[in-house]
Structure 1
Amino acid sequence: MNTLIQHWLDLRNGDYAAAEACVSPDIRVHAALLDGGDSSAVGGPAGVVAWIAQTRAAFSELTFAIEVGPIVDGDMVALRWRASGAYAGGFPGAAAKPGTANEFTGTDTLRVAGGLIADYWINPDIHVLLAQLRVLA
């Protein structure tokens, strides 16, 4: 399990080749997408890579670190992470200037099947990030 979680962390940190080692071709992503899109359309390793790359494009030097966990219960894994980086621009509604430092937290809940992540729930503390980016309502 530790190797799988390390691959997941590597993927979140921009090592897109790690997707093949940790993401099921049948993964289901359960997330509120910022563009209002349907997260069930994010499928397979390539879809997860594209989604993560889109997020990473808005933040230079984005780094994820695990703060709590992984906590394993059967086929379920939970972990709390902290992300830090600098705003690169392009986030919808953001008034922050590029280069603005960001730090926010969240949790990932993963269901593992066949040694790969088959379901992914993300719960970022988005209100913290939106405040840092000065996103206006």
Structure 2
Amino acid sequence: MDPRDLYRRWIDELWNGDLDVAPELVAADFVGHWPDHDVHGPDEVARIIGETHGMLDALSFVVEVGPLVDGELVAGRWRGRGVQDGNPVTFIGNDLLRVADGRFVEYWVASLPLP
């Protein structure tokens, strides 16, 4: 799969709540480097995304920039929107992922809430 298509599925499908696609997009030896912990494999990725959806109602993500591809690296910028305690919440983030054999094997993310 083209890395651009893989990234679009990462956001459009997986991060928008279709957790069943995690094994298609994420390798078994995947390591995701979140700011405060690492996540391993597709099952943990799906669990973390599910927990994120559990914290916000009507949560959705869109790609705003990219994806940009350089060799085995894919980068993109996204915007997330949801509702928490009746209030709209918006945040942005930047992803950097490494691809091997058609799946993501490593991930770095930085995200910030918007006022």
Q: TM-score of the superposition, structure 1-length normalised? A: 0.77
Contact 1:4 1:21 in 2 (8 A): no
Which one of the candidate residues 5, 30, 55 is aligned to 2:7?
5
Gaps of 5+ in 2: none
- 2:95 maps to what in 1? 108
Task: Give the number of equivalent residue pairs.
Answer: 112
Letter in 1 for 2:20: A
- What is the aligned-residue identity percentage? 38
Q: TM-score of the superposition, structure 2-length normalised? A: 0.91
| 2:26 corresponds to 1:29 | no
Task: Report the structure, 1 or 2, having the larger strand content.
Answer: 2
1:1-137 paired onto structure 2 within 5 Å: 1=2, 2-9=4-11, 10-33=13-36, 38-39=37-38, 42-87=39-84, 98-126=85-113, 128=114
Gaps of 5+ in 1: 88-97, 133-137
Q: Which runs of 4+ in 1 moved over 6 A?
A: none
State the structure with bigger RCO (CA 8 A, min sep 6), 1 or 2: 2
| Separation (CA, whole Å) in 2 of partners of 1:123 and 1:28 | 15
